[in-house]
Structure 1
């Protein structure tokens, strides 16, 4: 009898353990549990991906700040005041000339670079593309003389010029012929006209240095903005 009771107890214990294991196995097959597990794995992968992106961004930001940090932007150049706004691709320069003229320059950042070639062979070095420079000269409330230029690393090149209404917001004014189609003497006189107002080769050199520095500042700011967004 004693042996029989022990055998029955053992059987009951094994049955209960078997039922518990079956219940646990069944719960693991529950669609809700599987969805939870998939979501957890997905979150883990997302976290690992974001962690890797953040690590790369922090390393790049640290490298830029330690090896070639941007300089404090200059606010004046000769007679021009410089208006630089963070996050924008343009800067603006302003000055007065004489008693009547207000001069405003709008300048873009670099659009890219082109390879240098010597004798048809690419050297591997790169040179910055010219910077777009728009010169606006106004006299009181009258019309605006607008001169389109390209600022190369050490010179200013005029491409177009025309007169437009100051407050006109619609329509496209006639831009005249291409600058190089004009008489050579007239071209030279227009370059002298700009040089007298401080729009010359020295300005081109300044703009290229300024924009290289701004490009670096904007790149670091962009990385910091992306990093902050991912960290939220």
Structure 2
């Protein structure tokens, strides 16, 4: 989410907290007559008051959600952005993006190899929240500052048809480049690539390989050429943060629509 959106949500959260406290105090005062002799009238009065308060709160919340939804729809581009059109037009990578999920996968074929890249929009959300906290503490944002590229963790998996094993690469994507953390090899491709609890448990007990920057410089250079040849290059590193922001915006709009509909029913 953007810093502006985070600020609006923080203000909204404070308002809801104050409203909840006020509601608690009202409840305490309304409950006092229940200890007197007129128990039935006090109970009916409280029930009606609570029901009406709940209805009013629902209406106000739905209105605020509608306002936020309208703002986000106006701020977002209605058509598919140019950067995404251009990426698809290259016909190299296929995008696997399921609405409601925070993970995105990019896949491609390279000879007899299957290359799969995965990243999560959770990274961009966490980074934006940290940036917003810095601004709250007094650091001012400047319009002259260059656009900030949020670091996003990426995981690559390379398997070969008819050949056992999987090569996996953990890297950080930021400022138009990939910074490799480590490269692992798993004799069992399923252990190296499957996103199951069983596979994750098996991976925990295996050697994941050395830190990439501890390898001989010549080995690092050849690995970088190896990855670049498979399309894991600066162009892809520029695309991922853009798509992460694009998806995060879509998911937020979907969240607003779903919550608003639920509140209104």
Give 1:94-133 correspondences, 5 Å limit.
94-98=107-111, 100-109=112-121, 110=124, 111-113=126-128, 115=131, 122=139, 124=141, 127-133=148-154
Bigger radius of gyration: 1
Which protein has greater RCO, CA pairs closer than 8 Å, 6+ apart?
2
Q: Deviations over 1:11-64 (max 9, x none)?
A: xxxxxxxxxxxxxxxxxx742232121011011111111111111100010011
Distance 1:221 1:49, change over 3 A: same
Q: CA shift at 1:93, angstroms?
A: 0.8
Q: CA shift at 1:77, angstroms?
A: 6.4
Query: Structure 1 or 2: larger strand share?
Result: 1
* Structure 2 equivalent of residue 15 of structure 1: none
Greater Cα shift, 163-172 or 129-138: 163-172
* Structure 2 equivalent of residue 204 of structure 1: 237
**SS of 2:72 mapped into structure 1:** helix
Of the candidates 139, 151, 167, which is equivalent to residue 190 of structure 2?
167
* Structure 2 equivalent of residue 148 of structure 1: 170
Asked whether the equivalents of residues 70 and 217 of structure 1 are also in contact (C-alpha less than 8 Å), the reply is: no
Q: Compute the TM-score of the two structures, normalised by the length of structure 1.
A: 0.78
Q: CA shift at 1:71, angstroms?
A: 4.6
1:63 aligns with 2:78: no
Distance 1:176 1:57, change over 3 A: same
Of the candidates 104, 107, 127, which is equivalent to residue 91 of structure 1?
104
Q: Deviations over 1:140-189 (max 9, x none)?
A: 25100000011113111111111112123242221122111111111111
Supply the distance in 1 between the matched residues of 2:103 and 2:181 (Cα, whole angstroms). 19
Asked whether the equivalents of residues 185 and 209 of structure 2 are also in contact (C-alpha less than 8 Å), the reply is: no
Supply the distance in 1 between the matched residues of 2:262 and 2:172 (Cα, whole angstroms). 37
1:216 aligns with 2:237: no
Q: CA shift at 1:226, angstroms?
A: 1.1
Q: CA shift at 1:76, angstroms?
A: 2.9
Q: CA shift at 1:122, angstroms?
A: 4.9
Q: Compute the TM-score of the two structures, normalised by the length of structure 2.
A: 0.69
Alignment root-mean-square deviation, CA: 2.4
Query: Structure 1 or 2: larger helix share?
Result: 2
Q: CA shift at 1:66, angstroms?
A: 1.6
Q: CA shift at 1:67, angstroms?
A: 2.7
* Structure 1 equivalent of residue 158 of structure 2: 137
